[in-house]
Amino acid sequence: MNVLHTESSCGWGGQEIRILREAEGMRERGHNVYFAVASGGGLVEKAKAKGFLVYQLPMKKSACLKTLFQLLRIIKDKNIHIVNTHSSWDAWIGGIAARLLNRRVLRTRHLSTKIKEGLNSILLYNRLADFVVTTSSSIIEPIIRQAKISPNQVRCIPTGVDPSTIA
């Protein structure tokens, strides 16, 4: 399976570390994993250092058409099966690109804070996602209710800890 992770966050913290660790786990299981991330973002060098192909994109609203066309090309060229989106902006642009090419979308929600009510949540978590993974069970019910998705379309997978790396 070919998976594309999108990330518009420029930071380097728990969310980005989890994305990279999951990508490593998927690669170890035989999948091809690629990254389309914010230019200069925290994942760029870390993912490259782990041997992943990383596309740096302008993940900002002012460049949305350019980013959309770049994502469409990556998805086609790498025959991506699943686009895994992680932050709000890349969920929009990555979700739209995937939908235009009839590809599956996994939306990972790393925050336990409330999501916006109304059309925003319906589009991001229902129309632009086939399945939602959360890192906290406390956000599952609000997502189900606000995005009008089935409980079967969302699951909590807490961030794991590798005990061998704890000092």
> Would you state the structure tokens that stand for residue 37, as one six-digit string?
């991330």
pLDDT of residue 167: 58
The contacts found for 11-17 with CB under 8 angstroms, 24 or more apart, are: 11/41, 11/42, 12/42, 12/43, 12/46, 13/42, 14/110, 14/159, 15/86, 15/87, 15/110, 16/41, 16/42, 16/43, 16/46
Helix, strand or coil, per DSSP, at residue 7: strand
pLDDT of residue 112: 78
Q: Which residues, given as ranges, of the chain have pLDDT below 50?
A: none
- In eight-state DSSP terms, residue 113 is S
**Residue 17 phi, psi dihedral angles, 5° rounding:** -65, -45
Say what the pTM is: 0.92
Separation between Cα atoms, residue 110 and residue 31, nearest integer Å: 22
